[in-house]
Amino acid sequence: MAEQQDDPKKLEEFQERIDNGETIEPKDWMPSRYRSQLIRMMSQHAHSEVVGMLPEGNWITRAPSLRRKLILLSKVQDEAGHGLYLYSATETLGASREEVLQQLLEGKAKYSSIFNYPTLSWADVMVIGWLVDGAAIINQTMLARSSYGPYSRAMVRICKEESFHKKQGYEMVATMAQGTPEQQEMVQDAVNRWWWPTMMMFGPHDDDSPNSAELIKWGVKSKTNDELRQSFVDRHVEEAKAVGIEIPDPELEFNEETGHYEFGEIDWDEFWNVVKGNGPMNRERMKAKQEAHENGKWVREAAEEYARKKRLQKEKAS
Ligand code: BYC
């Protein structure tokens, strides 16, 4: 889409505000490209939260105890809430919820690749909490300092909830890792399947990331995809060690000089294949979203009718 040409003087002033660490609010002047980049990223983020309810939602009826079921129910509801904050924040940029949802339903909008993998056992729920929410926190703690006010404020609250999600996941992983040999095998199998897809969540290498430089210049991101991925590895390898879990990467090695773990290469063909819609669960996830939208049609219609009647009553009374 062709971007509108911005006034160079306004652009310069805008950049100064960003460089001074000021927050940009919805009614402030902003470059049209800043607006469209944010709409792209925030709406995709909102879609990721709501599509992300599906893999774990799959296990609510089969949770192993009432306590685990309550926690999982609450976590999945939190993800719906995150989607709602983010759709609202995106609306402040002039993109309506209907519009961005339509893009998702038509398969035109992206959402995080991670949610296109299946949850085959209860251990997958644990590992999603630990690794996927763990990765999300690293990315979102950065976004909580983003230059766009409504996005950064939504992130502060989301990060607090994600932090609980990660803790409950890690607690379950630690419990299973000390369980029977079968339980240990189950949790290790889940880690083996989720480790690499989680590494892909951070996006392509910096050299192959067309959006990063612009997002960093405008203070939306403050770290690159590779920097965030490195923080994820450094933190989670230590956590895995603490509970006796093995990371499925034969090239993983601590570099004493840099103080960081070095790791093997991601299978980028797999990543792009999933992003393009050909992952193991892409079609099923889209089908579930389309069906849910269709089944909810009467609720939307009833709510609109109720609002219309209320408006009429108000008009008559005044
Ligand atoms: N999956 O230039 P790049 C959660 C796309 S949910 C799919 O590096 P950017 C949770 C990218 O969009 C929270 N697509 O892009 C919920 C771009 O394509 P377009 C998930 C990906 O924006 C339930 C192209 O590749 N977190 O926590 O600089 C249960 C080139 O990439 C992916 C977010 O959504 C991917 N993994 O950086 C549990 C975070 N990676 O759009 C947990 C918000 C890249 O130009 N988003 N692409 O056609 C971001 O931080 C950034 O947008 C990304 C990508 C790091 C994802």
For a ligand 1 pocket test, name from 108, 198, 211, 281 the mutation site with the most ligand atoms within 8 angstroms of its C-beta. 211
CA distance 135 to 128: 10
pLDDT at 246 (0 to 100):
98
Residue 288 counted as domain residue: yes
Residue 9 counted as domain residue: no
pLDDT at 3 (0 to 100):
63
CATH number, position 218 = 1.20.1260.10
CA distance 259 to 126: 29
Residue 7 counted as domain residue: no
Residue 13 counted as domain residue: no
219 closest CA partner among 137, 142, 150, 160:
142
Centroid of ligand 1 to alpha carbon of 130 (angstroms):
19
Residue 11 counted as domain residue: no
Domain count, the chain: 1
Centroid of ligand 1 to alpha carbon of 111 (angstroms):
7
**309: containing domain:** 20-317
Residue 156 counted as domain residue: yes
Helix (H, G, I), strand (E, B) or coil at 63: coil
pLDDT at 2 (0 to 100):
53
pTM confidence score: 0.95
Q: What is the pLDDT along the chain (318 residues), one digit of tens a residue?
A: 456 688 999 999 999 999 999 999 999 999 999 999 999 999 999 999 999 999 999 999 999 999 999 999 999 999 999 999 999 999 999 999 999 999 999 999 999 999 999 999 999 999 999 999 999 999 999 999 999 999 999 999 999 999 999 999 999 999 999 999 999 999 999 999 999 999 999 999 999 999 999 999 999 999 999 999 999 999 999 999 999 999 999 999 999 999 999 999 999 999 999 999 999 999 999 999 999 999 999 999 999 999 999 999 999 998
Residue 14 counted as domain residue: no
Residue 233 counted as domain residue: yes
